[in-house]
Amino acid sequence: MMARDPVFGSHADACGNVLPSGAHAPNVTVSAVLRAVCEVFETHPGVVVGRSRRREHVTPRQVAIWIARHCVRINGRPISLPALGRAFGRDHTTVLSAIQRVDALLACDFEGLPARVRKVKEVLHVH
């Protein structure tokens, strides 16, 4: 029986493990991604998964979604947009928008975001 996660519930631990190409990484769940993002962005999980649309809350949420989409695997495949949506309390289209937004922010080095994303990956031991 799976342990119940206080933020996401028991399904978060079933969200797979990180399988970056060419790297050896430990099993990481969506909730582990959330904790790492909260550590790097100095915020709380409730704020990240909350309903706030303030930029200081939205950016960590979008980064957590982006990292989870690129790193978390279920049965060897990237976690689905609907599964990510359920984990973060969002619709799959919002998840897609978050992924596209972070891609754009990373491309223009928005407020040092690439360095923060690298730091989250370091916390998760993903390279």
For 57, the domain range is 10-124
How does residue 44 score in pLDDT terms, banded at 50, 70 and 90?
very high
Q: Can you give the pTM of this predicted structure?
A: 0.80
Question: Does some domain include residue 88?
Answer: yes
Q: Which amino acid is at 53?
A: R
Q: Kindly state whether residue 1 falls inside one of the protein's structural domains.
A: no
In a domain, 80, yes or no: yes
Residues in the chain: 127
Q: Are 2 and 13 in contact (CB under 8 A)?
A: yes
Report the domain count for the chain. Answer: 1
| 3 falls within a domain | no
Question: Is residue 99 one of the residues assigned to a domain?
Answer: yes
Q: At what angle do helices 113-124 and 55-71 cross, to 10 degrees?
A: 50
Alpha-carbon span 75 to 58, nearest angstrom: 29
Contact present, 108 and 102 (Cβ < 8 Å): no
Residue 22 has pLDDT above 90, yes or no: no
pLDDT of 25 reads: 52
Decide if 59 is inside a domain.
Answer: yes
Which is more confidently placed, 60 or 14? 60
- Name residue 108's amino acid: C
Q: Is residue 2 in a domain?
A: no
Q: What is the pLDDT of residues 51-98, one digit of tens each?
A: 999 999 999 999 999 999 999 988 888 999 999 999 999 999 999 999
